[in-house]
Amino acid sequence: MIRFGSYLQTNWDWRAAGNFVFGGAGGALLAVIALAEMGRSPSLPVGLTALALVGLGLLLVWLEIGRPWRALNVFFHPQTSWMSREAAVATVLFPLTLAAIWIGNGALFMVAGALGALFLFCQGRILHGSRGIPAWREPAVVPLIVSTGLAEGVALLMLLFGYFGGPTASLLNALVIALVLRSWAFFHYRAALERAQASAATLNRIASLRVPFLLVGNALPVVIGLVAALFWRAALLELAAILALIGGWYLKFVIVTSAAQVQGYGIGKLQRGRPTLRKPVRRDGDPWRA
């Protein structure tokens, strides 16, 4: 297959990427907190941090729209648009989370954590619904976005526990598992793009993530975390969390911006030899036949 005419999309810029970067991390943080606390309401600073990240992501995508008040139209198509579903989830997510923290209801916060996970899933489906861009429409992008967000949520919770006080070391196993899962999701995503014969620019940009994402954002945090567990160094645990967090943010920023090539045109494989002349087929009733 020979492809030509593909170009980098310009409709979504760094502000749209910010919704996936911060909003996805905030939604995942809510889900991770709910699992970590298991029926207990988290502290106010931890819960507010998750909501602030979700709010920041939505604010950035709102600023990205040329006419900001047109953003209200996003609520009108929940039956067809995953962006509408994301907005609907966020509308319920904020008051429910605040209420759960205010009254200290752990069961209610478990529901908020489920909504945070649903918010993250909606973001993956938003990208998958963009059919004209191979880097987004590939089904493997959904598990990649979800696994990346979960790793970011665990990393953020480790940092918050380290600052406000909490069992940071107990999250190390969860971080390692999340990093392994998102590494597998990345390899699966890259192989799927190659099988789909995406443009060379897209494949090259994704391939360039091997060092900053796979090595620095995944492998290195695992090694640092294991060393920290052996010598009980809290500073090393925080460093591993920071690298995992930045690696995930960088991956999503690249996918939304610099790897987002429009489809272009394709020509099938050319064959050697001269064209074969075939005898025309004559049918009863043809106008040229007497």
Cβ 185 vs Cβ 140: under 8 Å: yes
pLDDT at 290: 44
pTM of the model: 0.85
pLDDT at 104: 85
CA distance 223 to 228: 9
CATH number of 13-264: 1.20.1630.10
Average pLDDT score over the chain = 86
- Whose tokens are 């609907």? That residue is 88
Q: Which residues of the chain have pLDDT under 70?
A: 1-5, 39, 65-79, 264-290
Q: List the chain domain ranges.
A: 13-264
pLDDT at 231: 77
pLDDT at 278: 66
Neighbouring-strand partners of residue 8: 261
